[in-house]
C-alpha cells in the first residue's frame, strides 16, 4: 500500500520551542514551516493549535499535552514523546521514525497517511480512533490499546502486538502474518477476528481463544 509522505520544505530552525508555542497559542496562529531540534520539555501545554509543515528532530517531549491539535505534513524523528497526550487530534501525512512513545495517548483521533517506523509505542492508547491508510513497521505495540477503533487500509510489517487490546475493533482484511499477536484481547465472542488474515501458527494460537486445541 502506498501512503502519502509528508511534504516538508523550507523549514526555519527556531528555539526554544516552548516560547514559540506559547506565542502562537496566544495569537491563535498555526505553527508552520518550523524545525524544532533537540528541545527538552516535560509536562507542558502545547495543545490547541495546528502544526503544518513542521519537523520535530531529536526532541524529548515528555508528558506534554497536544490535545485538540492538528498535524499535517509532519516528521517526528528520533523523538521521545512518552506519556504525551494527543487526544482528539488530527494527523495527515505524518511520519514517526525511531521514536519512543511509551504510554502515549491518541484516543478519539483521526489518523491517516501516517507511518510509524522503528519505534516503541508500548502501552500507547488509540481507543475510539479512526485509522486509515496507515503503516506500522518494525515497531513494538505490546500492551497497546486499539479498542473500539475503525481501521481501514492499516498494514502491520514486523510489528509486536502482544497483549494488544482490540476489543470491539473489527479486524476484517487486517493482515497479521508478519507480526506477533500473542495474548491479544478480544470480546467474549471473538467476533473481531472475522475476516482477519493470519498464518497457520497464529491460527493455532487464536484457536485456543475459541476453546480449540490444534495439534
The range of the structural domain enclosing residue 129 comes to: 12-210
Q: Do the Cβ atoms of 153 and 1 come closer than 8 Å?
A: yes
User: What are the CA-CA distances from residue 134 to residues 10, 150, 194, 212 (Å)?
Assistant: 26, 12, 21, 33
Query: Which pLDDT belongs to residue 204?
Result: 83
**How many structural domains comprise the chain?**
1
Query: Which pLDDT belongs to residue 214?
Result: 56
Query: Which pLDDT belongs to residue 14?
Result: 86
Closest to 196 (Cα-Cα) out of 82, 67, 207 = 207
Closest to 164 (Cα-Cα) out of 125, 198, 129 = 125
pLDDT (tens digit, 0 to 9) for every residue of the chain, 215 residues total?
Answer: 999 999 998 899 887 899 999 999 999 999 999 999 999 999 999 999 999 999 999 999 999 999 999 999 999 999 999 999 999 999 999 999 999 999 999 999 999 999 999 999 999 999 999 999 999 999 999 999 999 999 999 999 999 999 999 999 999 999 999 999 999 999 998 999 999 999 988 888 887 776 656 56
| Torsion, CA 14, CA 16, CA 17, CA 22, rounded to 10 | -110
Would you state the cell numbers that stand for residue 40, as one nine-digit string?
527538552
In a domain, 4, yes or no: no
Q: Do the Cβ atoms of 48 and 67 come closer than 8 Å?
A: yes
Q: Do the Cβ atoms of 58 and 78 come closer than 8 Å?
A: yes
Query: Which pLDDT belongs to residue 207?
Result: 79
- The set of residues, in sequence order, having a beta carbon less than 8 Å from that of 14 and lying 6+ positions away, is 20, 34, 35, 36
- For residue 106, what is the domain's CATH number? 2.160.20.80
In a domain, 6, yes or no: no
Query: Which pLDDT belongs to residue 205?
Result: 80
In a domain, 1, yes or no: no
| Residue located via cell numbers 506477533 | 180
Amino acid at each position: 500500500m502506498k501512503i502519502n509522505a509528508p511534504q516538508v520544505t523550507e523549514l526555519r530552525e527556531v528555539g526554544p520551542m516552548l516560547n514559540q508555542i506559547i506565542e502562537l497559542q496566544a495569537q491563535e496562529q498555526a505553527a508552520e514551516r518550523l524545525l524544532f531540534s533537540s528541545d527538552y520539555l516535560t509536562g507542558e501545554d502545547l495543545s490547541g493549535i495546528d502544526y503544518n509543515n513542521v519537523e520535530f528532530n531529536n526532541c524529548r517531549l515528555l508528558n506534554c499535552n497536544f490535545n485538540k491539535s492538528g498535524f499535517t505534513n509532519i516528521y517526528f524523528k528520533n523523538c521521545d514523546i512518552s506519556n504525551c497526550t494527543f487526544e482528539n487530534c488530527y494527523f495527515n501525512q505524518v511520519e514517526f521514525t525511531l521514536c519512543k512513545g511509551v504510554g502515549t495517548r491518541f484516543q478519539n483521533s483521526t489518523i491517516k497517511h501516517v507511518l510509524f517506523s522503528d519505534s516503541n509505542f508500548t502501552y500507547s492508547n488509540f481507543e475510539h480512533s479512526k485509522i486509515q491508510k496507515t503503516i506500522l513497521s518494525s515497531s513494538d505495540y505490546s500492551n497497546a490499546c486499539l479498542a473500539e477503533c475503525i481501521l481501514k487500509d492499516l498494514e502491520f510489517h514486523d510489528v509486536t502486538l502482544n497483549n494488544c487490546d482490540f476489543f470491539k475493533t473489527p479486524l476484517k482484511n487486517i493482515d497479521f502474518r508478519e507480526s506477533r499477536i500473542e495474548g491479544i484481547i478480544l470480546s467474549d465472542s471473538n467476533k473481531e477476528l472475522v475476516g482477519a488474515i493470519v498464518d497457520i501458527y497464529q491460527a493455532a494460537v487464536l484457536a485456543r481463544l475459541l476453546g480449540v486445541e490444534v495439534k
